[in-house]
Amino acid sequence: MPAKRSSRKSRPDRQSAELAAVTPANLDDVAITPVPTLPTGRPAAPKAGPPATGTSGVGRGQRTGQVRRYAFRRS
């Protein structure tokens, strides 16, 4: 009977860099990119398609009729 193998994957030993080697000498001299300003106005409304708000849920969706018809066709 073969020996039971370990279910864990072995991890190779990775050499991590020392914190002192990665940290710059003077943190004040590090260049930081400025944060972009976001537009304050609303974007323009789409020119095509259904209205985003208003009478939602008034009519039946396309899936409603399909599901009902499917039950009668199965017999």
How far apart CA 64 and CA 37 sit, in angstroms, is 45
In the prediction, which pLDDT does 44 show?
Answer: 84
pTM attached to this predicted model: 0.21
What pLDDT is recorded for position 40? 83
Query: How many Å apart are CA 65 and CA 59, to the nearest integer?
Result: 11
15 vs 5, 8, 12, 47, CA distance in Å? Answer: 27, 21, 10, 57
Single out the residue of 59, 42, 41 nearest to residue 50, CA to CA: 59
Tens digits of residue pLDDT in 51-64: 766 555 555 555 55
Q: What digits encode the pLDDT tens for the residues 13-69?
A: 666 667 777 787 887 888 888 888 888 888 887 788 877 665 555 555 555 555 555
